[in-house]
Amino acid sequence: MSQQQEIVRLEAVHKFLGLDYDQATEFQDIVNFAAELCGTPVALITLLDKDVNWVKVRAGIDAPAMPRETSFCQYTIQSEGLTIIPDTLEDRRFDNNPLVHEPPHVRFYAGAPLTIKGGIRLGSLCLFDAKPNNISIIQQKALAVMARQVTFLMQLELSQKVLQNNLKELEEKNESLRSIAHMQSHDIRQPLTSIMGLIDIIRNDGYKADKEKLMMIEEAANQLDKKVHDIVEQTTIKY
């Protein structure tokens, strides 16, 4: 993965880190089912940040995060398919990994990448076991399907969050616009009333307007134009 690709990936990760994964029970249901289906004591949904592997949903372990450099998920995001390690003690990549040689003593790992549009892999739906293990072809396919379901739910939650924020912003803008309209209504009516009054005078005078009356109409019209311009200016600056 190139440096630019990693920058793009991290930007995407940060968008999804802010979601409330506890609110949507479907995430926990998937994690619980993944552990049960594959016969492992631990299942996690993780998001791999620059230096930290964040555990957003968990079953069988109480670990909110772990260093990226020791995480198994750093390898999962490098591949489109599943990453399966039947026995970590037989894999040289984990010779000095504290997750293997210290609690929780991970011996088996299986992870499916959480992939969004553009092939961006955010993290993983993964399984741990404290003893060597493996999963069948059917279990592998099921894990991949569940990872896609997790990704779908994450994108749905993000879309709903963006929509709610936009609705809140629109409500705030509408309230501000109502305030502006209320404050400006009197200022607009004043020059408009002056113009209409002068027009009545000219009409009653047989539409004979002297220079003074025309100048008064022009001044009132200029005031009205300025008020309208001010309103446009205020709404443009705010929005």
Whether 239 has a pLDDT exceeding 50, the answer reads no
Give the rounded percent of residues in the chain with a pLDDT score beyond 90.
62
Q: Please report the pLDDT score of residue 137 as a whole number.
A: 96
Greater confidence (200 vs 51) lies with 51
Instruction: Name the one residue in this structure whose structure tokens are 């003074």.
Output: 212
| pLDDT of 2 over the 60 cut | yes
* pLDDT confidence of residue 22: 86
Sign of CA dihedral 180, 183, 187, 190: positive
Least reliable range by pLDDT among 78-92, 165-179, 225-239 = 225-239
Which position has the higher pLDDT, 42 or 174?
42
What percent helix, strand, coil does the chain show, rounded to 5? 60, 15, 25
| Tens digit of each residue's pLDDT (9 = 90 or more) over 120-136 | 999 999 999 999 999 99
Round to whole Å and give the CA distance between 105 and 100. Answer: 4
Domain with CATH 1.10.287 in the chain: 164-238
What is the average per-residue pLDDT within 90-113?
96
Share of the chain above pLDDT 70, in %: 74
pLDDT at 8: 96
Residue 194 has pLDDT above 50, yes or no: yes
Flag whether pLDDT at 156 surpasses 50: yes
Residue 203 confidence class, pLDDT cut points 50, 70, 90: low
Check pLDDT > 70 for residue 30.
Answer: yes
**DSSP per residue over 26-47, as a string?**
HHHHHHHHHHHHHT-SEEEEEE
Upstream peptide bond of 113 is cis (omega within 30 degrees of 0): no
- Residue from 31, 12, 40 nearest 120 by CA: 12
Which CATH architecture is the domain 3-163 placed in?
2-Layer Sandwich (3.30)
CATH 3.30.450.40 placement within the chain: 3-163
Token pair, residue 66, equals 């772990």
pLDDT at 49 over 90: yes
164-238 CATH, one of 1.10.150, 1.10.287, 1.20.120, 1.10.10: 1.10.287
**Which residues, in sequence order, are CB contacts of 183 under 8 Å at separation 6+?**
none
Helix (H) or strand (E) holding 112: strand 108-116
176 bridge partner residues: none
Structure tokens at 30: 């998937």
Q: Name beta bridge partners: 32.
A: none
Q: Say if strands 120-129 and 83-85 run parallel, antiparallel, or are unpaired.
A: unpaired
Indicate the DSSP class of residue 97.
-
51 vs 210 pLDDT, higher one: 51
Question: Omega of the bond prior to 103 within 30 degrees of 0, cis?
Answer: no
User: Using 50, 70 and 90 to split pLDDT, how confident is the model at 147?
Assistant: very high
